[in-house]
């Protein structure tokens, strides 16, 4: 069904890129893995959140006295019980810290929390919500960025003229001159939809505050450290007095590293009541009040020469920011950068405007602005190739990034396998021969970052840190702050540690997801962990190994030109591998030699002098075979192939899982996952009406892994978790274009849009005759 090929494998490794089971696998397939959803503490109360029915309103008064009379209700909190701190994840910029999770003065979207109840059962807490009386003064509201930006639009946040929350400008080269060199210029407007993260585990937290003044929070998070810092900030606590525990996490996808209402309200209730409080969002709450992929309006203008050489591009983007900033400001930046990918432009200019509206806030989601950027870019490029009668693969190839290319002022490309990607996809297309009349293939290229360089969160700590401790029996403890949210980072780090130290994966125990015991790490977002935490882990393991080998050298009596190494738990001379001793024997000697101290290796990583965006970039080209019904407009995915350059693969099974999984989510963005709103209200906040890919709709997701070496990554690795969310929507759009000659400018593409476009086309064709 699926083909997985490694091109040119050359693997001197013992553990890396071998078939290693996920180290959390047995816990997950036996039902032993416990999530925040499953946490139960003695004396625990259940919390529920009362949410605003209005998109924009002043809170005049909240009376919860009747709710307090209900037997079993223990406490209610409102914004008045909080410090009123306006928080945000861009902590370096005060004006972008704009969200009180329990607002005091006004609400800005339907579903915004206004009060929270704690009761002895969830049922009683739910009932109590009906007895809280909130008096609102409704305000005029605005829902779309192109309306909210108008002069007479309602003001959502004081002092933000025309509701413009953030702007971003990116430019390089002489843009006007470069456009003058072009023989052909094309401009298009696009609309990119939102998308919900739809984590199987909804937002969840259990908070427990005790009289020592210490708060412990179990939560479903992508970054335990971020939540430790954010909670400390809003609650007036020292970071060291907040412990965040992230047990198994039921998915994240970019939606779980901002402060959410489950975490905040559970904490505020617990601090008021001195009892543990658990809050789990219902699926509906999760849909209407836990953020989404940023919807965008995209204008893009591209100039090329007759022979297909790219000259210049300019883009203007208006994003629907929703009510608050969150991580949406970063999506505004990254969409503008990745809209240039993976091509060389003599002149490039991007102006992005993030606009506040009275809808649920939009934020980062897997791909982080790039799926929108590619939806527009890769379709327009396909249309340009068609307009000029050029081969779309060769036109892309001649303009692509290559190893050593410098994106002016932005990035240096140290590894790039896109050229081989074109060959692989060409082979796949050629192998298919002639397709049935109702099918067509669409292509899309892209690239993605391996972790962000920016530190708008203002962390004083290294981006990633790791500690490797070697026990006397040869087992190894690895402490990292990386967060395993299902992508397999625990396994990836165990593999890197085992490879670097020369032991078996099963001898490495990974400790993560606990701020009391693990070093700070920015967490699982922006495809950063394999490269950044991977580098820290490798450094820590190599440090431990070096300390151990000092004891081995001391007794070996080797000529100084000969080296010792450790592989598979065997300490040996590289030149005479049969001569050596078991790892555990060396460990025992070293421990005694250190007066009983365990060997500890430390590692850390923060990118330096790597440009503006990321230390390394993945590349990929995807082909999707699509069937479209002419009568109904119904889309069916038949087959797909992705040629993919993630540098050196580390976690073989994890890599396949990431690529297949990203494809399914990306396909959903292309044609299924529609989030309609009416007057600020989401119309399909449930799993009956919000459509995602199901098992019967998922096509083969074939992968050809291109072998490259990234000098900045651990063992040459770069990202694989997120980039593949980027190309698919555009590839589906391009297949529809090749099937019917119609250009879809809005995603997700719904059947009625295809039917309407075909009608318009038929009428236009009639007109021509």
Q: Which residues bind other proteins (CB under 8 A)?
A: 1-2, 19, 21-22, 24-35, 37-38, 198-202, 248-251, 253, 282-284, 485-488, 653-654, 656-657, 660-665, 686-688, 692-696, 698, 700-701
- To other proteins, the closest distance from the beta carbon of 21 in angstroms equals 5
- To other proteins, the closest distance from the beta carbon of 104 in angstroms equals 31
Question: Are 604 and 466 contacting, i.e. CB atoms less than 8 angstroms apart?
Answer: yes
Where would I find the H helices in 449-599? 489-501, 534-556, 583-593
The burial of 341, by beta-carbon neighbours within 10 Å (0-12 exposed, 13-18 middle, 19 or more buried), is given as buried
Dist. CA 275–CA 277, nearest whole Å: 6
- To other proteins, the closest distance from the beta carbon of 566 in angstroms equals 28
Residue closer to other proteins by CB (options 30, 559) is 30
Residue closer to other proteins by CB (options 198, 494) is 198
- The residue among 438, 425, 360 whose CA lies nearest residue 393 is 425
Residue closer to other proteins by CB (options 217, 524) is 524
- To other proteins, the closest distance from the beta carbon of 487 in angstroms equals 6
Q: Is the dihedral of CA 545, 547, 551, 557 positive or negative?
A: positive
Dist. CA 598–CA 569, nearest whole Å: 17
Question: Are 669 and 748 contacting, i.e. CB atoms less than 8 angstroms apart?
Answer: yes
SS3 category, 768? helix
Residue closer to other proteins by CB (options 508, 665) is 665
- Which residues on neighbouring strands pair with residue 214, listed in sequence order? 210
Q: What are phi and psi of 555, to 5 degrees?
A: -100, -10
Angle at 595 between CA 590 and CA 597, to 5 degrees: 70
b/e per residue 111-137 (b: at least 16 CB within 10 A): bbbbbbbbbbeeebbebbbebbebebe
Dist. CA 242–CA 267, nearest whole Å: 10
- To other proteins, the closest distance from the beta carbon of 198 in angstroms equals 6
- To other proteins, the closest distance from the beta carbon of 681 in angstroms equals 18
Dist. CA 496–CA 501, nearest whole Å: 8
Residue closer to other proteins by CB (options 418, 643) is 643
Residue closer to other proteins by CB (options 216, 642) is 642
- The residue among 461, 643, 466 whose CA lies nearest residue 544 is 466
Beta pairing, strands 204-210 & 746-747: unpaired
- To other proteins, the closest distance from the beta carbon of 635 in angstroms equals 17
Residue closer to other proteins by CB (options 21, 66) is 21
Residue closer to other proteins by CB (options 102, 204) is 204
- To other proteins, the closest distance from the beta carbon of 485 in angstroms equals 6
Element (H, E) at 392: helix 392-399
- The residue among 131, 474, 181 whose CA lies nearest residue 311 is 181
Residue closer to other proteins by CB (options 467, 626) is 626
Beta pairing, strands 292-293 & 362-363: parallel
- To other proteins, the closest distance from the beta carbon of 200 in angstroms equals 4
Residue closer to other proteins by CB (options 119, 744) is 119
- To other proteins, the closest distance from the beta carbon of 291 in angstroms equals 16
Torsion, Cα 629 635 637 638, to 10 degrees, reads -10
Residue closer to other proteins by CB (options 465, 492) is 492
- To other proteins, the closest distance from the beta carbon of 2 in angstroms equals 5
């Amino acid at each position: 069904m699926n083909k997985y090929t490694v091109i040119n494998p050359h693997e001197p490794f013992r553990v890396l890129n071998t078939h290693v089971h996920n180290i959390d696998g047995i816990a997950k397939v036996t039902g032993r893995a416990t999530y925040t959803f499953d946490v139960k503490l003695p004396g625990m109360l259940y919390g529920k959140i009362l949410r605003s029915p209005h998109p924009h309103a002043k809170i005049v008064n909240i009376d919860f006295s009747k709710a307090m009379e209900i037997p079993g209700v223990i406490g209610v909190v409102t914004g008045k019980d909080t410090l009123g701190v306006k928080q945000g994840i861009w902590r370096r910029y005060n004006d972008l810290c704009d969200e009180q999770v329990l607002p005091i003065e006004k609400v800005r979207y339907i579903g915004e929390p206004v009060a929270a109840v704690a009761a002895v059962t969830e049922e009683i807490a739910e009932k109590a919500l009906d007895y809280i009386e909130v008096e609102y003064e409704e305000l005029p509201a605005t829902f779309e960025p192109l309306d909210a930006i108008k002069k007479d639009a309602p003001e959502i946040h004081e002092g933000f003229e025309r509701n413009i929350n953030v702007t971003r400008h990116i430019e390089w080269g002489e843009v006007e001159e470069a456009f003058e060199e072009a023989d052909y210029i094309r401009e298009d407007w696009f609309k990119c939809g939102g998308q919900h993260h739809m984590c199987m585990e909804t937002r969840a937290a259990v908070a427990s505050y005790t009289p020592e003044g210490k708060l412990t929070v179990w939560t479903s998070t992508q970054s335990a450290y971020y939540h430790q810092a954010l909670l400390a900030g809003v609650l007036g606590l020292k970071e060291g007095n907040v412990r965040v525990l992230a047990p198994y996490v039921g998915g994240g996808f970019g939606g779980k590293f901002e402060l959410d209402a489950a975490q905040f309200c559970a904490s505020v209730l617990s601090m008021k009541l001195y009892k543990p409080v658990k809050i789990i969002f219902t699926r509906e709450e999760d849909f209407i009040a836990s953020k989404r992929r940023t919807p965008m309006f995209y204008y893009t203008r591209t100039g090329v020469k007759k022979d297909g050489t790219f000259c210049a591009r300019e883009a203007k983007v208006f994003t629907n920011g929703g009510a608050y900033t969150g991580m949406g400001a970063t999506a505004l930046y990254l969409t503008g950068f990745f809209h240039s990918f993976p091509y060389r432009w003599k002149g490039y200019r991007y102006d992005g405007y993030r606009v506040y509206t009275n809808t649920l806030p939009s934020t980062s989601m897997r791909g982080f602005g790039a799926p929108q950027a590619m939806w527009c870019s890769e379709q327009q490029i396909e249309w340009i190739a068609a307009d000029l009668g050029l081969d779309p693969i060769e036109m892309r190839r001649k303009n692509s990034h290559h190893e050593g290319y410098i994106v002016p002022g932005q990035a240096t490309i140290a590894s790039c396998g896109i050229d081989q990607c074109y060959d692989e996809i060409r082979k796949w297309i050629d192998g298919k021969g002639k397709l049935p009349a109702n099918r067509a293939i669409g292509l899309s290229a892209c690239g993605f970052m391996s972790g962000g360089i920016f530190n708008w969160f203002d962390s004083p700590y290294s981006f990633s840190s790791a500690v490797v401790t070697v026990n006397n029996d040869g087992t190894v403890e690895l402490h990292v702050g990386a967060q395993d949210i299902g992508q397999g980072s625990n396994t990836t780090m165990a593999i890197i540690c085992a490879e670097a130290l020369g032991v078996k994966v099963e001898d490495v125990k990974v400790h993560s997801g606990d701020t009391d015991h693990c070093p700070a790490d920015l967490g699982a977002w922006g495809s950063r962990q394999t490269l950044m935490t991977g580098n820290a882990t490798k450094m820590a393991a190599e440090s431990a190994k070096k300390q151990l080998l000092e004891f081995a050298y001391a007794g070996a009596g080797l000529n100084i030109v000969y080296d010792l190494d450790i592989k598979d738990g065997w300490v040996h001379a590289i030149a005479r591998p049969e001569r050596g001793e078991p790892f555990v024997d060396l460990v025992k000697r070293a421990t005694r030699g250190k007066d009983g101290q365990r060997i500890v290796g430390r590692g850390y990583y923060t990118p330096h002098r790597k440009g503006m965006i990321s230390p390394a970039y993945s590349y990929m080209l995807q082909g999707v075979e699509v069937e479209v019904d002419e009568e109904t407009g119904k889309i069916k995915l038949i087959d797909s192939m992705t040629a993919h350059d993630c540098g050196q693969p580390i976690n073989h099974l994890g890599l396949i899982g990431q690529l297949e999984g990203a494809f399914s989510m990306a396909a959903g963005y292309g044609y299924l996952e529609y989030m309609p709103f009416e007057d600020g209200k989401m119309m399909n906040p449930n799993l009956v009406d919000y459509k995602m890919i199901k098992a019967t709709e998922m096509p083969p997701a074939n992968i050809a892994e291109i072998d490259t070496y990234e000098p900045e990554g651990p063992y040459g690795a770069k990202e694989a978790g997120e980039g593949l969310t980027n190309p698919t929507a555009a590839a589906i759009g391009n297949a529809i274009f090749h099937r019917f000659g119609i250009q879809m400018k809005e995603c997700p593409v719904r059947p009625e849009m295809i039917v309407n476009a075909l009608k318009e086309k038929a009428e236009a064709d009639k007109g021509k005759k």
